[in-house]
Amino acid sequence: MAISQNCASAKDVGDDVREQSWNAPEIVVLMADDDEDDYILVKEAFQASPVAVDLRWVGDGLEAMDYLLHSGKYVARGTSPRPDLILLDIMMPRKDGLESLKEIKGHPYLKKIPVVLLTSSRRREHMSSGFKMGADSFIVKPQNLQDMVRMVGSLRAYYFGVVRLPERIPDPPFLGGRTGRTSGVILRSIH
């Protein structure tokens, strides 16, 4: 028997997700990618989704870490809600996706957030390194909207319908990431 005959269709799973999330808080997805065109494709694909998604975009790994650790331009409360899922490109300026992944998975507050490497790289060593560092999935970016909508639908169905993600926890008094200031509390690196 074919696998597809044993599984619910993506549409059926999408309907379940829609019902489960009717009163649920909006899903927050952080996308770190230096290509604005890819961000726009993902944004349009999520907009086609029946589940409300707050897609946040940062242009590189350094900005992703600022967002996650509430530093830099993300110090003000409410500017960087904790994501339920991170979409991380590998090849970015300043700090690449693998460096960011290592930092995320090594941080006690961030390590349980699922990270999907969404990249144009087809290099086996990138995939292998990503999984060794704790990536939850590795997906080669679709190059057109139709394929991107299909891929985002599969991600949405899997991460927000099939599996149960860790409960969103409130921000601790300090994150222990980069040095920065927030409400008079000094954030320092813990290594």
Across the strands, what pairs with 180? Answer: 187
Torsion angle of the four alpha carbons 84, 89, 93, 95, in this order, in degrees rounded to the nearest 10: 50
The answer to whether the beta carbons of residues 64 and 117 sit under 8 Å apart is: no
Q: What is the CATH number of the domain that holds 85?
A: 3.40.50.2300
Q: What is the pLDDT along the chain (191 residues), one digit of tens a residue?
A: 333 333 333 334 343 333 333 344 588 999 999 999 889 988 988 887 777 889 999 999 999 999 999 999 999 878 899 999 999 999 998 899 999 999 999 999 899 999 999 888 788 888 888 899 999 988 888 888 888 888 888 888 888 778 776 666 666 555 544 443 333 333 333 33
Q: What is the pTM of this model?
A: 0.74
Number of domains, the chain:
1
Rounded distance between C-alpha atoms, residue 27 and residue 20, angstroms: 12
Q: What residue numbers bound the domain in which 56 lies?
A: 3-187
Distance (Å, rounded) from C-alpha 183 to C-alpha 173? 10
The number of helix segments (H) and strand segments (E) in the chain equals 7, 7
